[in-house]
Structures are given as structure tokens and as C-alpha cells.
Structure 1
């Protein structure tokens, strides 16, 4: 492994930044402190331009290379935390109750800051780097808001790159999947409007719990009996809420969850079937069922040519034996997909030590990944914006 020496020299600084951000996690569109740290660091590193407030709390930095080239490469990291009570036991654990960096966004932000410091010091490239620190990746539409507020009109990019830490892979292993790499996602909320009654006289009710539980079971047939086996889909009910007393049949129940998919025809089929099932159940029981299904993430599509370029750049850091193009698709989702719909690019996964999965209260990011990720970001810039004559 060949982490860039300049980055290795300030690896301890990256660890300190990451652990400070980790101790002060902020949810989407609330990343005021984090964004302030990012802007302060970028200015201290000598970044040419620092723009704050795009997409609410987003930050964009501009670094110009020593040549006069016109090509522009974007690098993106996300900054938000999750509404999780931390149980990691680390000395720098969250000091904000009910908030935790359980997905590694503190690491993503720090790796991009490390790349920014290196690139601002060396400027060994011909063109411009656009550093994008995005808010609200965790289902709140931070990428879409930045795009709506003119991200690429104000800061054009010819190509763009992102990355995610991966505790499920070996430390230092880098994987990039060409084409559809991560699932699109929809969230759904269903309200079963029944008729309440005394629990001792349930015949006077139209019990939304009985109806709702039957509906949850029926929705599993969307995957098992309506979807072609060659087109993967995940339909998960993650919330079922009803009732407030032992002796009351409630008048309503709410059901919520997510659908993950890779094919547009599959998500359209799933949405149609869910609506049909709800309508049928409502008719059968003589009640009303409201359905809200909304797209939250698009399918993340890596450009095949830029995937190869990203793997080659990563190989110069972690070794050719540790960087590869993968056929594995992830059922998780990532709103970097929205940026890739506008600008071609690629998204990689970087392995690190640890056995606790993402989005878990006990998750711990391995700080050894920080100089690796920063070096990969720096190398993709230097390889895609080579100096004339180099």
C-alpha cells in the first residue's frame, strides 16, 4: 500500500478532525457546526474559493491546478449523521443525544478534507477541482437540493467521484461496480382507517390491526409472486404503529417501510401492486386505506470508462491486487446517484477494519481508512487532470 507521503504526514490531523466531527454529529440540513469546520479548514489549507450555504448547509471549494486546463473534476463527500443513540464505547462518542455518525460520513468528510489539503499544497494537476461537501444524504434529499439550487450551473464538472467506507470488506480493498451499482429506493406510508371500539366488543369495530397485519403479509407476495427472479427487489415493512390502551380497539394503524430496486419496470409494478392490494383490502373491509409511495433515491449508475479510471487511480494507492471492478450490486442506496444522473462519474467502496455493520449503534470507523481515502481522491484528480508533458 502506497498512501501519498504528504497525506501520511498529516494522518494524525485527519484522525483528530474525524473524531471531533464524530463527537458532534448533526442530522441532515442541521450540519451547521460541521459545515463551519469544513469551510474553516478549506480556507486554512489555501483553497482558492470557499462557498457556503448551497443546499442549506452545503460547502463547495475550488482548487485550481498549476496548468491552464479547462477540465473540471468534482469530488463529493456527505456530512450528515443518523438519528441513532450511540453505543460504541469509544472515548469520542457522540455528545449530541440521539445523534450518531453510524454510517461513516464523518470519515467521508475528513477524507475529502485530506485530499483538499494535499491538492491545495501540491497543485500537481492541470485544471480545476470542485470539492462538494453535501448535507442530508440519509433520505432527506441533500443532493437534489444542491442540484435544484444550481450546483453544476455554478460549479460545472466534467466528471465526479465519491466514495463510501465498507466494514464488510477487507481493509484497503477498493471495489467499483460499473453500471447499476446501488439500488434505487422508495419510502412508503400507509394509513389504515378503521373503526375503533371497546376491546370487549370487537364486533363493533373494523379492526385496523387485523386489517393491517393481513396487508403486511399480502405485500410480501409482491416480491415472491409478482417479480421476475432475475430482477432483484427488496420490500421491507419497518414500522407498524397502532393503539394506545389495553382495552381499546384503535381506529387507525400506520405502516411504513422501503422498497429497493434496480429496474424501473419493477418499481412501477411494485407500486401498482401495493396500491391494488390496499384498495382491495379497503373494499373487502369497508374502510379507507391511504397510500403514499415516493421516490427517495435513484439507481446509482457508475460510468464504465470512469469506473476503470477510478480503479486504476485506487490501485496506485492500495496496489493492483486490492483494487478491482466488481460485479456486486448493493441493495443499499446513495443519493450521489442524483449527481451521477447529471455528470458522469463513479462511486467506490473502501474496506476497513471492524465487524459491526453500518447504521448500528455500535459501529466504529477505522481511522486507518482516512489517509487511504484521501490519497485515492487525490490520485483520481492527478490522473484525470494530468499536467501537460507529464
Structure 2
């Protein structure tokens, strides 16, 4: 069972992708993107319902007599990055670009929706177009607005293009795919002084410098080497003059883990280390720690279903890979429904291959038909 997209449909889907790339929208602001998606789905006979997570929507197509239902999710939002590709279809919105390939995810899901409208299956397919995957938890918002209450599903599936893997490869692990993540901001408060008279103050710059190093002991000395954990300080802000020791310095960063107990340990130790180091150097630490996304853990049965569907496609090969310490808010959907999140290889050959979130990144259109074909194969495989 293998459905081939007509060449003109592929060309049109690429044109949709590039239109979306030219017109990126940030999380919870995907108004025009959502309208574009709804128009296309309506053309092909889908029942479209919006209002989930502000700009999210669901397109439903029923065929045959079965009530079995699957969900196919595509994220729609862009990133606050200034594009540096100089492509003819580069972003027209200053400071905003599709640097993660969500334009390609939307276009390939639309291509699959169009194809499924003209092929046979027995059951219900729901295409879930989700806002705000990047940091803002659009999946959580959609679930909170009643996504699965209003649209019961037996399973839901998500896909991400993966530039670190060659085109034609697919990874669908039976367990961990993406890490949980948290954010922190530590305000180190000291006592300002003249830079030439540091003994008269309490230097938050020195305290912050030692704190950056001390935080690295959490992963190396408090977490088992057999577990995965990351603590990264990504921002340091403080001071305004060459000769002035400031009153405060702000450190910000991110944490990553898979196991819930590891996440609890990281938060507890981060707060204790920050407080202790600051106090030991005559300063204070004010800590704002937030757990943002849970880990993305696949249901093993649904992962097997994905691999089985992929094995029927001559364009794809199933490969194994380690999970990623990056995070993905599809995790909120997997906490509520069984499902599987998989990667499609998207590496560019013969030149530069910018990674996700790079200002030079552009979705590899070569995998668009593969992604659409995979969605069709998955739907037909489950809804026989």
C-alpha cells in the first residue's frame, strides 16, 4: 500500500510552504496561517473547527463506517529570529522567520489532507494544526481548551524534520524522543562599589562567575552518569560602566532531563547551589525556576505502528538514533493520548546544512512529499 502524490500536487505544496515561509507568525499570533489552512481544508471537504489554543484548529474527514479516529498534528509558529538566507521567498516580517521548519510541517500535512480526501480508508482522520510550539506551550493550550474532549482519538501522531539525519531516514523510538525542559533566572544581588575599591562592596559579578561553574556540578556530581541531565547558563547581564561594580547580575538558562525524579533533583540543587554560592560571597540570590515542557515519550505500540507504515514506503528507511535533549510540546498531547512523535531526515547534501533555529535554516523541500506520503500511509494502515 503506497500512495504517490501527483507531481503537480507536490509543486503546489512546495508553493504553499514557501508562501508560509514568506509570511511567518509567532506563537499564538498565527492568524493568517490558520486562515490559510482552514481555506484549504474546506476546499477538500473537511469539517474545520477553530478556537483551540487561540489560533489552533482541527480539520475532520470521515469515510466508511468505522468510528476509529487518529490525529495528525502539525505545528504552525515561527521564531523571533532575523532571517539570513537571502532566499527569494525569505521572510517579509522583520525579526521573524520559520527557522524550525514548521512551514514545511504545515505544507506536508496539507498535502496529506488533500490526498486523503481522494483515497479510501475506513474511519476518521483529524488534522490538528497547533500554534505556539516554540516555548509557549500551544499543545498544552489546545488540550486545555478541550481538544481531546471534543475530538476523541485512538492515537495522535507528530513529525519533525531532522537536519542531522540523511533524507530518507525515519526515527520512531519506542520510548524517549525529546527531553523535558525548564528555565531559570537567578538575580544575584550584591552591594555596588567603585571598581578600584572592591573591598567596600559585595561583588555580584564574582559571585555570578563562580555560580556558573558551580551549577555544572549538578549534572556531573548530583546526577548518575547513567542518566541524562543538562544545566546550561545561556545569558549573563550586569553592569554598565568600566569602573563600577554593579548592584546585581542576572543569570538565565535552561535545564533538560527525561526522568521526573531527575527534574526534581535539578531544580532542588539549582536553588540550593545558587543560594549558597551567593551567600558565601556576601550576596543574595533570588531564583525564578519554571518547569516548561515534560519529556516527549512515545507509546511503544504506536511507535511500532509508525515503523510498520514506514516500512511499506520505498522512499523511507527506518533507522535508530539516540533521543534529543531538545524539547517538544507535543509531549502534552502524549500525556493525554497514546501516540508517537517521529523524525524525518532532512539533511542537505553537497553544501551547508544549517541546523534547526539557525538564521540560515530553510526547510528541505525534498522531504515534503515523503512527509505527506508517510501521513497517508499511516492513516491507511490504521484505518483499514
Q: Shift in Å at residue 137 of structure 1? A: 0.4
Q: CA RMSD in A?
A: 1.5
- Point out where structure 2 has 5 or more consecutive residues left out of the alignment: none
Distance in 2 (alpha carbons) for counterparts of 1:275 and 1:6: 54
* 1:183 alignment partner in structure 2: 179
SS class of match (2:143)? helix
Residue in structure 2 matched with residue 343 of structure 1 by the alignment = 337
Q: What whole-Å deviation, never above 9, does each CA across 1:125-146 have from its counterpart, x for those lacking one? A: 1111111000000111111111
Matched residues, number: 380
Cα displacement (A) at 1:247: 2.7
Equivalent position of 1:168 in the other structure? 164
What is the TM-score normalised by the length of structure 1? Answer: 0.94
Secondary structure class of the residue paired with 1:125: coil
| Aligned match of 1:328 | 322
2:264 aligned with 1:265? no
**Deviation string, structure 1 residues 167-223 (Cα, Å, up to 9, x no partner):** 111111111111112111111111111122232332222111111111011001111
Contact 1:172-1:318 within 8 A present in 2 as well: no
Specify the SS of the correspondent of 1:187: strand
C-alpha separation between the residues in 2 aligned to 1:353 and 1:307? 23
Alignment of 1:1-390 (within 5 A): 4-47=3-46, 49-65=47-63, 67-122=64-119, 124-319=120-315, 322-324=317-319, 326=320, 328-354=322-348, 355-386=353-384
The answer to whether the 8 Å contact 2:298/2:334 transfers is yes
The whole-number CA distance in structure 2 between the counterparts of 1:312 and 1:69 is: 21
Q: CA deviation at 1:249?
A: 1.6
The answer as to whether partners of 2:176 and 2:258 remain within 8 angstroms in 1 is yes
Q: What do residues 213-235 of structure 1 show as CA deviations (whole Å, max 9, x unaligned)?
A: 11011001111111111001111
Deviation at 1:356, TM superposition (A): 1.3
**Does the CA contact (< 8 Å) of 2:207 and 2:283 recur in 1?**
no
SS of 2:210's partner is: helix
Deviation (angstroms), 1:7: 4.9
TM value normalised by structure 2: 0.95
What do the CA deviations read for 1:53-75 (whole angstroms, capped 9, x no partner)? Answer: 2101111111111x111111000
User: Structure 2: how far apart are the matches of 1:128 and 1:3?
Assistant: 19
Cα distance in structure 1, aligned partners of 2:326 and 2:370: 23
Q: Is the 8 A contact 1:162 1:348 kept in 2?
A: yes
